[in-house]
Structure 1
């Protein structure tokens, strides 16, 4: 396992630097004193632009905390995070909210669709909140690739789990965000629906240059990624390039999962 290639900690990205997201000295502590929990203990990591990256590690390794800090959903106790050349850790709450709406897409395990809205309305909601209009050609392309043309006016309860997650993927892709963060996106799906969603995320990277970061505990899901970043005890523990199911399982065994 090779270590991540890192630039100098604490410095902003150089001109032309290809990382979509980068973190330096990232620490996250919950509580204080003897009961303090150090979820992240000094993480330096780069997320390559236009690639599919997975974050993995044993339970309690800090993988979800890392994703939340990289996505601006949670504030780090120490350290810095950049989305492109924008430092998230220096932004006020209202600036972070605007950035998340305009430059970050999210896909969650629980879908997070509003039951009173149909599929199309759920897809467009983040753009409406940001005061944006969808590019109709891009929307037609996304809806077609996700196989949702005949489901646009169905509400979530009228859709299967796989269809609901495809709506969530469309919602994340339509604004053309800098990065899509996916938190256990196949956790509530059967194996066939999960494979469909993972294929869609991978194709969005390969066909449109989207950057995707996925947290998962599933070696099969991780094998769809270009790279797996491994965490243990809140620290980087290595990485895998072009992972396979077997190489992921072996790496996780080495971490004690």
Structure 2
């Protein structure tokens, strides 16, 4: 079941939910004059804390651009983006780099593991670079949650694709970031390995209180989320709570049909 297109931090009961990240009137444009392309068109969005959000939409809808802007990986043309109460738009490069390192986790299609390091060393690498000592109890809990306890001494070449992505998930979780962003995090995995990784992401929300946002084209991946945001032509046009794969697929078919008739 879909809801109205107004994206608000107010829940059905009117109680205000905690917001991990938010964007206000986000515009992202490329080029100028006749070649100007608007990737995001005055987007307002709130990402609820402690929830799993999926962003979907047709190719070119702006979904990856929105995630990259929310994560501080790309700049906006206009508008404001906040991580908790910190406005990240306008931050100097050094401050933005520090914020991404300390408060944001990333999981991407490419696992981005260093082949010369074992699983544990890959997991703790960002904290090692930052000169921070891992919280041992939390690290153990993360490792148990993603099912890597018996694989920590293995190098990436000794791990399956699903196991490598689990290492990437654990690396994102280990630093206890405010929010984790994933760009098609199961895109390079077969269905079984993808389901395993999505289950771990779901557990990290339910058991560890993590906030996760993923961009995906896969209705099955979206069905693990608490809420799906739908983008079209650079705008959020719909949302769905407690999605099922079937409901998400039906909604995407509506987009496809609309695109063919427009």
Give the gaps of 5 or more residues in structure 2: 10-15
* 1:172 corresponding residue in structure 2: 172
8 A Cα contact 1:118 1:155, kept in partner: yes
8 A Cα contact 2:115 2:157, kept in partner: yes
Distance 1:64 1:24 in 2: 17
Mapping of residues 204-223 of structure 1, within 5 Å? 204-223=204-223
Of 151-160 and 210-219, more deviation after overlay is shown by: 151-160
Instruction: Give CA-to-partner distance per residue, 1:36-70, whole Å, 9 cap, x none.
Output: 22111111000000000000000000000000000
Give yes or no for the alignment of 1:110 onto 2:110. Answer: yes
SS in 2 for 1:151: coil
Give the gaps of 5 or more residues in structure 1: 8-15
* 2:84 corresponding residue in structure 1: 84
Give yes or no for the alignment of 1:36 onto 2:36. Answer: yes
Mapping of residues 138-177 of structure 1, within 5 Å? 138-177=138-177
Q: CA deviation at 1:203?
A: 0.6
Partner of residue 6 from structure 1, selected from 8, 30, 35: 8
TM-score of the superposition, structure 2-length normalised?
0.92
Distance 1:60 1:165 in 2: 26
Q: CA deviation at 1:17?
A: 6.2
Instruction: Give CA-to-partner distance per residue, 1:84-137, whole Å, 9 cap, x none.
Output: 000000211100100011100011011111112111111011111222111111
What stretches of structure 1 move > 4 A for 4+ residues in a row? Answer: none
Distance 1:17 1:144 in 2: 29
Distance 1:88 1:187 in 2: 28
8 A Cα contact 2:17 2:48, kept in partner: no
8 A Cα contact 2:145 2:203, kept in partner: no
CA RMSD in angstroms comes to 1.3
* 1:13 corresponding residue in structure 2: none
* 1:127 corresponding residue in structure 2: 127
SS in 1 for 2:193: helix
TM-score of the superposition, structure 1-length normalised?
0.94
Distance 1:216 1:237 in 2: 16
